[in-house]
């Protein structure tokens, strides 16, 4: 076949499938953007509110009809304009006094590319994009399945966000993933006509979010009428850091058939040609590279850079080598972690456009004369009882193992004999261990916590000695333990044990959660355990 014949054959094929042309059609109330793609995508955007009111994928309406797809709970009123750039990008710009939201459709594919510029936190106190997809069309959630499907609930466990469905506790919060791992999440259906709508978040999608690499937030929730697909840029859901403003994203909402998009398949570098407020292309960015040393190879290692405007992170290779994502110019602070436990901090790290800054980091965790240690210093409750379940269900769920009555005997018990959380009036824990006469001097009991709620903190009793009642930890906004979060400030408590308190033979330590606030079952004061160590 000649080139002309091939062209002819291709155009005949396209005509046969009645391909709509790429472009924007304008009415007094809306812009209708057609992607001109073979798997057709057409979205309708209100010219008064910026709400997406229709998502037609392959001719099928996926948008829930009683509410729109939008930022927060809708902008209400916005100035909405449309332009076509380079004949291939339809750019819809929505402006309010404090926010500019960009919705971009590229000729020939089935994705909605977005970026959101803010100068102030929205009044509702969080910044999110929510696509309300008709749950009858796309009922399933990826990757965690129905843990966050609250449709058909028979009762409420807590607040207005934890429910019981078929005897299991469910919440939109149980769809969360650590930001460092949250690349692609979707709502979908399988079967003979599969369709997926996914949120795809390549670096630097989270650069203006807050909370660091281990923050997690709501990703999906089939609540019955609509299946919500979110990109939470910031919120007070176990908030550890002030909100950042500026340009959030770009991020993509993709539409596909049976294939979940790979993170690397979405490249939004073309935003550099779209005149986006505060957008910095790769060429205007720099990186930090080096090695994180002296961390036990058993741990996953992460380096995290941040300042008031932006945040970035990278896993290191197993030998500790790292290269940051492409960062905006600026001066950064740094934290390095084994797991999620801070092992080094730094400041004054300068990032320059087009250059690589070298940074060598050594873990500052020194050797101690450890008598015993329970759990790893990894900033996570991993291994402790119910830690494998707490991310995806409520502590009252019948699938949880009992929280109380546990004794850990050093040398014979397993980590499952330690509850991942201590909750005022719900549980207490006992540690039994044997010492010889050389070990009865002064010692330190170190109790690592990852998250506290309602002023919960540990108080220990060592044989007949009652340890001090520590001051209340810094308050973190909103619930966490009951909503699948375990990461807060990671406070570590040291109990100084006077000489002759420990005895040769059997010793007993009990640990309780104390707080001036009243107990309220699992919703009362609590803290989550990282590790417990006795050293001299």
Instruction: Name which of 139 and 281 has its Cβ closer to ligand NAG.
Output: 139
| Minimum CB–partner distance for residue 148 and ligand NAG (Å) | 14
| Minimum CB–partner distance for residue 258 and ligand NAG (Å) | 6
Pair of tokens at residue 109: 């594919």
Site for ligand NAG in 496-535 (CB under 6 A): none
How many residues lie near ligand NAG (CB under 6 A)?
A: 2
Contact call for residue 151 and ligand NAG (CB under 6 A): no
Contact call for residue 140 and ligand NAG (CB under 6 A): yes
Burial class (CB in 10 A: 0-12, 13-18, 19+), 92: buried
* Residue listed under structure tokens 């998502």: 55
| Minimum CB–partner distance for residue 109 and ligand NAG (Å) | 22
**Signed CA dihedral, 69, 70, 72, 74: sign only:** negative
| Minimum CB–partner distance for residue 498 and ligand NAG (Å) | 58
| Cβ-closest position to ligand NAG | 190
Instruction: Name which of 140 and 309 has its Cβ closer to ligand NAG.
Output: 140
User: What whole-number distance in Å separates Cα of residue 461 and Cα of residue 405?
Assistant: 16
| Minimum CB–partner distance for residue 298 and ligand NAG (Å) | 31
Instruction: Name which of 84 and 140 has its Cβ closer to ligand NAG.
Output: 140
Instruction: Name which of 194 and 505 has its Cβ closer to ligand NAG.
Output: 194
| Cis upstream peptide for 126 (omega within 30°) | no
Percentage helix, strand, coil, to 5, in the chain? 10, 45, 45
Contact between residue 331 and residue 320 where contact means Cβ atoms under 8 Å apart: no
| Minimum CB–partner distance for residue 229 and ligand NAG (Å) | 16
Instruction: Name which of 222 and 515 has its Cβ closer to ligand NAG.
Output: 222
Exposure string of 301-311, with b = 16+ CB inside 10 Å and e = fewer, is: bbbbbbbeebb
User: What whole-number distance in Å separates Cα of residue 38 and Cα of residue 17?
Assistant: 8
- Sequence-separated (6 or more) residues with CB below 8 Å from residue 417: 385, 406, 407, 408, 409
Instruction: Name which of 190 and 369 has its Cβ closer to ligand NAG.
Output: 190
Q: Which residues partner with 104 through β-bridges?
A: 91, 113
Distance separating the N- and C-terminal Cα atoms of the chain = 83
Contact call for residue 190 and ligand NAG (CB under 6 A): yes
The pattern of x and - marking residues 400 through 419 that bind ligand NAG according to CB under 6 A reads --------------------
Instruction: Name which of 198 and 476 has its Cβ closer to ligand NAG.
Output: 198
Contact call for residue 193 and ligand NAG (CB under 6 A): no
Instruction: Name which of 189 and 461 has its Cβ closer to ligand NAG.
Output: 189
Helices H / strands E in the chain, number of each: 2, 39
Backbone angles phi, psi at 432, to 5 degrees: -115, 140
The pattern of x and - marking residues 286 through 305 that bind ligand NAG according to CB under 6 A reads --------------------
| Minimum CB–partner distance for residue 231 and ligand NAG (Å) | 22
| Minimum CB–partner distance for residue 190 and ligand NAG (Å) | 4
| Minimum CB–partner distance for residue 265 and ligand NAG (Å) | 17
- Sequence-separated (6 or more) residues with CB below 8 Å from residue 253: 111, 112, 114, 129, 131, 197, 198, 199, 200, 229
Contact call for residue 257 and ligand NAG (CB under 6 A): no
Stretch (H or E) spanning 309: none
Instruction: Name which of 93 and 222 has its Cβ closer to ligand NAG.
Output: 222
- Site residues (CB under 6 A) for ligand NAG? 140, 190
């Amino acid at each position: 076949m000649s080139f002309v014949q091939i062209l002819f054959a291709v155009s005949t094929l396209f005509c046969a499938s009645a391909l709509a042309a790429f472009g924007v059609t304008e009415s007094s109330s809306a812009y209708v953007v057609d992607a001109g793609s073979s798997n057709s995508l057409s979205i309708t955007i209100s010219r008064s509110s910026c709400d997406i009111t229709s998502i037609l994928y392959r001719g099928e309406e996926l948008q829930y009809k009683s509410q729109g797809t939008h930022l927060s709970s809708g902008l209400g009123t916005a100035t909405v304009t449309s332009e076509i750039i380079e004949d291939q990008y339809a750019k819809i710009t929505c402006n309010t006094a404090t926010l500019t939201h960009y919705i971009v459709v590229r000729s020939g594919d089935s994705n909605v590319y977005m970026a959101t510029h803010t100068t102030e936190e929205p009044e509702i106190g969080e910044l999110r994009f929510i696509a309300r997809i008709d749950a009858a069309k796309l009922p399933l959630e990826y990757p965690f399945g129905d843990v966050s499907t609250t449709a058909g609930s028979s009762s409420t466990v807590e607040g207005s966000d934890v429910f019981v469905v078929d005897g299991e506790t469910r919440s939109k919060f149980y769809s969360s993933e650590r930001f460092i791992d949250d690349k692609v999440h979707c709502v979908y259906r399988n079967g003979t006509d599969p369709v997926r709508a996914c949120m795809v978040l390549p670096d630097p999608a989270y650069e203006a979010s807050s909370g660091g690499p281990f923050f997690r937030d709501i990703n999906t929730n089939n609540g019955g009428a609509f299946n919500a697909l979110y990109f939470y840029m910031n919120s007070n859901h176990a908030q550890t850091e002030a909100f950042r403003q500026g340009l959030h994203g770009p991020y993509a909402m993709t539409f596909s058939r049976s294939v979940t998009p790979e993170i690397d398949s979405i490249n939004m570098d073309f935003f550099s040609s779209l005149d986006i407020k505060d957008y910095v292309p790769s060429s205007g960015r720099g990186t930090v590279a080096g090695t994180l040393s002296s961390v036990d190879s058993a741990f996953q290692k992460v380096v995290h850079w941040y300042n008031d405007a932006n945040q970035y992170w990278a896993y290191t290779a197993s030998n500790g080598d790292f290269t940051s994502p492409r960062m905006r110019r600026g001066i950064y602070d740094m934290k390095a972690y084994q797991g999620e436990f801070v092992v080094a901090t730094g400041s004054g790290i300068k990032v320059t456009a087009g250059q690589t800054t070298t940074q060598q980091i050594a873990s500052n965790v020194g050797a101690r004369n450890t008598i015993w240690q329970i759990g790893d210093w990894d900033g996570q409750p991993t291994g402790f009882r119910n830690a494998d379940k707490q991310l995806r269900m409520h502590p009252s769920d019948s699938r949880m193992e009992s929280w109380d009555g546990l004794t850990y005997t050093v040398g014979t018990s397993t980590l499952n004999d330690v509850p991942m959380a201590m909750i005022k009036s719900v549980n207490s824990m006992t540690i039994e261990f044997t010492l010889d006469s050389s070990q009865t001097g002064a010692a330190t009991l170190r109790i690592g916590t990852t998250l506290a709620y309602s002023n919960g903190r540990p108080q220990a009793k060592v044989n007949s000695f009652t340890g001090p009642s520590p001051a209340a930890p810094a308050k973190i906004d909103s619930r966490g333990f009951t909503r699948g979060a375990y990461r807060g400030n990671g406070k570590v408590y040291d109990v100084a044990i006077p000489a002759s308190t420990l005895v040769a033979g059997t010793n007993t330590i009990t640990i309780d959660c104390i707080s001036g606030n009243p107990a309220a079952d699992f919703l009362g004061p609590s803290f989550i355990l990282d590790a417990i160590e006795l050293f001299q």
